[in-house]
Chain A
Amino acid sequence: MKFRIDTSTGPHVGIVTLSGRIDAENSIELQNSFMSWLLETSLFVFDCSDLDFIDSSGLGSIVSCLRKALEHNGDLRLAGMGPKVSMVFELTKAKKLFSIFPDTANAMQSFGKSEP
């Protein structure tokens, strides 16, 4: 999990790069890290292009991150989701909760539009 702040589209957007697996082993770590990232910004893009697998606990932690971001008047958008990860989001109806973009650039631009 890598975190960086990007301001290229205007607002401070936290880009979180997820890779490999998110499951019971590291989902708590994601939630804990997210709490520290929230101190820097409340707008996030989770770049899922290197994410190979997600299980229900990983999904739960991403939904929990979204909830926290919304509580801080921010948002969390997903980008570059592969077909397998996308299938899990579809199956569990989690896709309806998120704004999903084909890549990080598009997700960043969407923040630029909504946060002038």
Chain B
Amino acid sequence: MKTLIVIREKDCQWARAFFPDMHPFLLTICNKPYVEFLVDFSLLSGIRQIRLLSDGPLGEVEEYCENGSRWGAEISYASIQSGDDMQTVLAKNKRFCAEERCMIINGMVFINYGKQADYNAFIAAFPSGEILSCSCGSLMLTGNPSGTRNISPPYPFTLSCFDSPGLYYRLSSDILNDAVSPYVLPGYNNEPLCHIGRNVVIGKSAEIIKPVILGDNVQILGGAVVGPGAIIGSNVIIDRNSSVIHSVVIDHTYIGEQLEVEKKIVSGNMLIEPESGVSLAIEDPHLLTGIRKSGASLSFIQYAVQALAALFILVLLLIPFLFLFPVLKLRGKWMQHNEDCYADISGKILNLSVTAIERGGLFGSIAIFLSLDRFFQLFRVLAGQIAIIGSTPLRVSPENREHLKRMPGYRPGVFSYAEAEAWPVDHDDKAIIERFYTAHSALFQDILMTVKAFVNRIHEKSTP
């Protein structure tokens, strides 16, 4: 079987209006993107091949879901015209859904399912046609059923409308308040009604009251009260003595000091009253504001100092490089290849030259001692593409794409903070060190760390 998820721009216009920085398919419900709930339901129905259809842009969704392999699914994407009716949509996707039964999720609907259930037999045996519908859309099946089971309502799942901030808020609250959540929610959870993401910092005098969900990289400063009924997205800062009660705070939001957020949705600088749908863009950045780059970008002064440092090292290494490079290359001890790495947290790709030098022999040792394997990367610092010191460049891969999401300050560097700290390297330890220093990056500290990284490399046995 296959799933077609058909959501038109008109279905999600409300989400675009209230959450302009987020693709409606990726709007988070209890910190889980909406589209993931639909994927989960498909998987519980025994369906692995899913196609997302929209008359709007799907680039952001594609970037997030990729080919679906992380869920063990195969996800593809296609466009439709805004005026296409369901028959036209099916005709346009004939090749995808002609041979097998197809489940069609039409419209921005929420399916209330249970993670423990197996809908495989139910979906396979349900006759062709509409299973459930609401004013926002429907759930349908095409193709012939297998088996002859007699199916009558109530069905093991229901369909809810999801077309206003009020419904969004109620849906989120209902899921949050469910002691035994029927959905798999992100975050660590060893007690009911409490999910906590990675890299969460909670001030000593802050108070967290269940039910609560905290996303990744959340900072809750001293005196703040979070909960009950708070859903805090990833990369959110709640400043001193503020309270967030019965509210939803979407990813990348800063909530200033001494504020009271109650029964609201906050997204960046947008404050929304869910029931009335009244929204207000707060203009004071010290009250509410969006957090976009979170320290990942360099200021002009930082860039200028880094470029000067790179130039200085280049000049210093030029003569040894001109002598050692041809010698090591001829002896086959200088291996160089290009690698696609992530340039920043958005997933932009950068092609980097990676050099490996074998230590064996005097020349190899000197080359490593002088960090000549980083020589070519220093030019990228001059071009402003990477930093002289930062995170270890992450090679492009689905696994690293996941890591990237947990590294809000990711900024690839010629030398890494982990090298400077000579940290006993396992991937997680490295990530902690790099996350700390990118978040607390400062001009003189960066220079000091570069020198430390340079010195520490002397002890390396060989380059990677």
Which of A's residues lie within 8 Å of B, judged by CB?
A: 23, 55-56, 83-84, 87-88, 90-93
Contacts and interface: CB of A to CB of B under 8 A. Distances in A.
B437 to A, nearest CB: 33
A83 B287 contact: no
Contact of B259 (A23, A83, A84, A91): A91
Contacts of A84: 278, 280
B284 A87 contact: no
Nearest to A56: B284
A91 B287 contact: yes
B282 A88 contact: yes
A90 B260 CA distance: 7
Interface in B265-300: 271, 273, 276, 278, 280, 282-284, 286-288
B260 A88 contact: no
B259 A56 contact: no
Nearest to B262: A90
Given A55-B283, A93-B258, 8 more contacts: A83-B273, A83-B276, A87-B264, A87-B278, A88-B282, A91-B282, A92-B259, A93-B260
Contacts of A92: 258-260, 287
B261 interface: yes
A116 B451 CA distance: 78
Interface in B90-144: none
B289 to A, nearest CB: 12
By Cβ-Cβ distance, the 5 closest A-B pairs, closest first, are: A83-B278, A56-B284, A84-B280, A93-B260, A87-B280
A91 B243 CA distance: 10
A88 B280 contact: yes
Contacts of A88: 280, 282
B193 to A, nearest CB: 26
Contacts of A87: 264, 271, 273, 278, 280
A12 B260 CA distance: 35
Given A83-B273, A83-B276, A83-B278, A91 B284 contact: no
Q: Is the interface of A mostly helix, strand, loop or mixed?
A: helix
Nearest to A93: B260
A87 B283 CA distance: 13
Contact of A55 (B262, B273, B278, B284): B284
B88 to A, nearest CB: 42
24 contacts: A23-B283, A55-B282, A55-B283, A55-B284, A56-B284, A56-B286, A83-B273, A83-B276, A83-B278, A84-B280, A87-B264, A87-B273, A87-B278, A87-B280, A88-B280, A88-B282, A90-B260, A91-B260, A91-B271, A91-B282, A91-B288, A92-B287, A93-B258, A93-B259
Contacts of A23: 283
A93 B273 CA distance: 16
- Which of B261, B262, B282, B288 gathers most chain A CB within 10 Å? B282
A56 B271 contact: no
A84 B264 CA distance: 13
Interface string B359-380: 0000000000000000000000
Contacts of A56: 284, 286-287
Nearest to A95: B260
Contacts of B283: 23, 55
A90 B262 CA distance: 8
A65 B286 CA distance: 22
B243 to A, nearest CB: 9
Nearest to B259: A91
A93 to B, nearest CB: 5
Contacts of B264: 87
B244 to A, nearest CB: 11
Nearest to B284: A56
Nearest to A94: B260
A100 to B, nearest CB: 15
A90 B258 CA distance: 11
Contacts of B276: 83
Contacts of A91: 259-261, 271, 282, 287-288
A56 B258 CA distance: 13
A84 B288 CA distance: 15
B290 to A, nearest CB: 16
A87 to B, nearest CB: 5
Report which residue of A83, A90, A91 has the largest number of chain B beta carbons within 10 angstroms of its beta carbon: A91
A90 B276 CA distance: 15
B85 to A, nearest CB: 39
Nearest to A90: B260
A94 to B, nearest CB: 10
Nearest to B243: A93
Nearest to B276: A83
Nearest to B271: A87
A46 B283 CA distance: 23
Contacts of A93: 258-260
A56 B283 CA distance: 9
A84 B277 CA distance: 11
B235 to A, nearest CB: 21
A89 B271 CA distance: 12
A83 B278 CA distance: 7
A109 B403 CA distance: 62
A101 B303 CA distance: 55
Interface string B232-259: 0000000000000000000000000011
